[in-house]
Amino acid sequence: MSEILILNESNYAQATASGTVAVDFYADWCGPCKMMAPTFDQAKDDYAGRVTFAKLNVDEAKTIALENKVLGIPTLIFYKDGQIADRVTGVVDKATLYAKLDALL
């Protein structure tokens, strides 16, 4: 099983610079974020070796959240070689998440 990378101000740019990366913008107090977590965690295992999965706490990295125009959480942003390729805000089901990931591979 692969791990979910925890992003912050110091490692965000490097972590999203290459490859396919799915970043979950969340907050500890956010109920919908907690609902999204098991689906994101399962995707991490199912796409191990093909997609890097990361989480960014918007309360701890406000600047990055603002730069990425994250206005609601959870927001998933999908990066492909350093560029935003797709995004979705709110809780999404497994089929929707996997379709977005498959489109990037």
Strand partners, 21: 52, 79
Angle at which helix 94-104 crosses helix 31-46, to 10 degrees, equals 50
Residue 24 known to be catalytic: no
Is 54 among the residues known to form the active site? no
Catalytic residue among 7, 15, 22, 30: 30
Question: Which is nearest to 54 in space by CA: 29, 91, 17?
Answer: 17
Backbone angles phi, psi at 79, to 5 degrees: -105, 140
23, 33, 58, 61: the catalytic one is 33
Active centre residues (catalytic) = 30, 33
